[in-house]
Amino acid sequence: MAHRLDTLTGKAIDANYLSPLRMFFRDMAANHDFRSPMADMSPRIPPNARESVERVPFTVDELNIWFKAAAKEKRPDLKWLPLLATLTGARVGELINLQGKDVYKVNDTLWVADLTTDLVIEGEDTKRQIKNKGSRRLFALHSILEETAFLDYCTKRKGEDWLFPAAHRHGKEAVKDPASAASKRLNARLVAVGIHRPYETTFHSSRHTAKDIMRVAKIDPRTADRQTGHAMKTAGDAYGSKTLLIEEVEVLAALALPQGLDLSPYLIKKILR
């Protein structure tokens, strides 16, 4: 091989290989009364394992480049996911699996997306796949979305319809992993507009961006974690409502957006009379 491929990071080796093996042998040992072969092992990460690269948020200039290109896309997922991910901090797998029934008003003015219910696929209730317990949540939709065509688009989808159907089917075939396929497709768009850096600025960076936006706006950290579905950090966080209160949705819907952020490519043009 002329070019050696990058090795996995030490963190990836531990999280994706060693940790599942430890869990497997621990459970098997408990159920079948034998000592785990990993009980006395201390696997070492190879010294040539690549160091982890921290993802970084998008800058305002990068977002403006991205949004200008994304707003021109014909496919709804390619058009709306960049904006939604940045404004909500939701994961691509959470957004790609939204159905018509999942986006609704909680009062006369506030919109949310609901990840607390099952999916309905071909008429059958199907468990919604989520990353962790905290991911089963409502998250607020920013009021700026009312000035785009997104919410109108959502209301035209039937309850069991995918919001982004093209991400779930390729021709007549069902896509096996819509979230992974969507992530690759969106990262390819970031490459095309010149703001993708391997491992550093990927579609997942939108979650970092959303967290920064909330932090600058002085949003309570617990509220921010409920919005993005991050795990609880302290025992005290477990107390109180497990989903956002109406008052928190109201605050998040009116969240101050970064100075210089240009959302005009998405905004519906007003007709002057």
φ/ψ region of 107 (left if φ > 0, alpha if ψ in -120 to 50, else beta) reads beta
The per-residue pLDDT for 207 is 95
DSSP letter for each residue of 8-36: PBHHHHIIIIIHHHHHHHHHHHHHHT---
* Residue 59: predicted pLDDT: 96
Q: What is the pLDDT of residue 271?
A: 43
Q: Give CATH superfamily name and number for 60-253.
A: Intergrase catalytic core (1.10.443.10)
Residues 85-112 have pLDDT tens digits of 999 999 999 999 999 999 999 988 999 9
Tokens matching residue 241: 């409502």
For 119-171, the pLDDT digits (tens) are 998 889 999 988 787 789 999 999 999 999 999 999 999 999 999 999 998 88
For the chain, give the percent of residues with pLDDT over 90: 63
pLDDT tens per residue, range 194-220: 999 887 889 999 999 999 999 999 999
> Is residue 239 over pLDDT 70?
yes
Domain residue spans in the chain? 9-52, 60-253
Q: Is 133 exposed, middle or buried (0-12, 13-18, 19+ CB in 10 A)?
A: exposed
* Cα 161 off chain centre by: 20
> Is residue 240 predicted with pLDDT exceeding 90?
no
Across 17-25, average pLDDT? 74
Mean pLDDT over each residue of the chain, to the nearest integer? 88
Q: Lowest mean pLDDT: which of 4-8, 186-190, 230-234?
A: 4-8
Q: Give the CA count within 13 Å in the CB-facing half-sphere of 77.
A: 27
Tell me if 213 sits within 8 A of 263, measured CB to CB: no
Q: Tell me: the pLDDT tens digits for 41-97?
A: 776 766 666 565 677 899 999 999 999 999 999 999 999 999 999 999 999 999 999
